[in-house]
Amino acid sequence: MVSPLGNGLAAFWTGLVGGRSAIAPIRRFRADDLDPANAAEVTGEEGQEPDRAGAFAVGAAMEALDSARLDPGMVDPARLGVALGTTLGGMQIFEGWDVATAAGDAPPPRLERVPYFATAARVAGAIGARGPVVTTQLACASGTEALAIAADWVRAGRADVVLAGGSDLLCRFVVAGFNALHATADRARPFDRARRGLVLGEGAALLVIEEAGHAARRGAPVKARVLGTGAAGDAVHMTAPDRDGGGVVRAVRAALADAGIAPSAVEFVSAHGTGTPFNDAMEARALVRLFGERTLPVNSIKGAIGHTLGAAGAFEAALCAETLARGVVPPTAGLEEVDPECAGLDLVRGEARACDVRVALSTSSGFAGANAALLLGRA
């Protein structure tokens, strides 16, 4: 991954476990007229390219392949795929085009060749994939849906290996848009009594989804198993979620049915947890409806890296895989006093908690009532 906590999985994990937050005033573009003007930005060389979303994704893909000890040349190119979620694609590039045109300057070269699906296509080109390639757009559930599609391809025999996840970037367009919705705050405080809104983030997270027999034959270091996936729509409002979490409940139940397991088997939830008043209350109600008020550790990573939009679910999937492998649940950065509306959850805060987790759930929710759920099991 490429994250605001630093490039690579190790930096991401160390930052999360330490309760660190990468949220700070925006530095990369002019933000003096934006209010709020905080975000979680990626630093380093990937953040300097014109096609930042593509650079994030390729950087994450290379680390994923290295971690999986997988040389793309070991896979039949026709059975190597890419599934990548995004909400913005090349938006920053088109912003640059508009600025250049308004100033009477020539736009940077080759921008006309960076369409919305370019991020997935760039990853496919970088690894030599000639199998199925798709860009998912399910708002902030895009990364989770990309992982679900990848798992479906492998199950159906369409691919042996799929690089799947999400990549998104920060730009003036998206920050101004969320500010206009009055959905943002200076600090992300998931499930906290004083939460006021989300803070945006950026980056990319990709995972190697591989057919079990194919992985076994090459001695792959397996971190987790995809048990089940699910998706559901609220059909309530263009931006606000179903206040009772109906879509989340249906998505999780679909994932449980896909996995063939009962709710009692789930031992950890990586919640969407945006830090907005409506989302967190809705999600808390949904999780209590699903699991009851039992001791089930729950956290959110958005107080640490912000809301990374189309990449959010992929970051959560990586977190779940690490929790399954390490037996540790990171705390929720920004959470100080649990909102009474969320009191039915066992929210991990303050410091990391040792947990023997065998099944982990990640939930994602997005605009237009898009909801997705991913169940991972210990390897």
pLDDT tens digits in sequence order for the chain, 379 residues long:
999 999 999 999 999 999 999 999 999 888 999 999 999 999 876 656 778 899 999 999 999 999 999 999 989 999 999 999 999 876 766 666 655 565 666 666 655 555 667 899 999 999 999 999 999 988 899 999 999 999 999 999 999 999 999 999 998 889 999 999 899 999 999 999 999 999 999 999 999 999 999 999 999 999 999 999 999 998 887 776 777 878 999 999 999 999 999 999 999 999 999 999 989 999 999 999 999 877 799 999 999 999 999 999 999 999 999 999 999 999 999 999 999 999 889 999 999 999 999 999 999 998 878 999 999 999 9
Q: Which domains does the chain have, with CATH numbers?
A: 2-378 (3.40.47.10)
Average predicted confidence (pLDDT) for the chain:
92
CB 162 within 8 A of CB 68: no
> What tokens were used for 120?
């997935």
> What amino acid is encoded at 376 in this protein?
L
CA atoms of 160 and 124, how far apart (whole Å): 15
What is the value of pTM for the model shown?
A: 0.94
| pLDDT tens column, 84-142 | 999 987 676 666 665 556 566 666 665 555 566 789 999 999 999 999 999 998 889 99
Q: Is 182 annotated in the active site?
A: no
Active-site pick, 171, 307, 320, 342: 307
Give the pLDDT confidence score for residue 241 in this predicted structure: 72
Q: Is 214 annotated in the active site?
A: no
Give the pLDDT confidence score for residue 367 in this predicted structure: 80
> What tokens were used for 137?
């757009």
Query: Helix 52-67 to helix 118-127 angle, to the nearest 10 degrees?
Result: 40
Give the pLDDT confidence score for residue 136 in this predicted structure: 92
Give the pLDDT confidence score for residue 327 in this predicted structure: 97
Active-site pick, 140, 171, 320, 355: 140
Q: Is 272 annotated in the active site?
A: yes
Active-site pick, 171, 272, 342, 355: 272
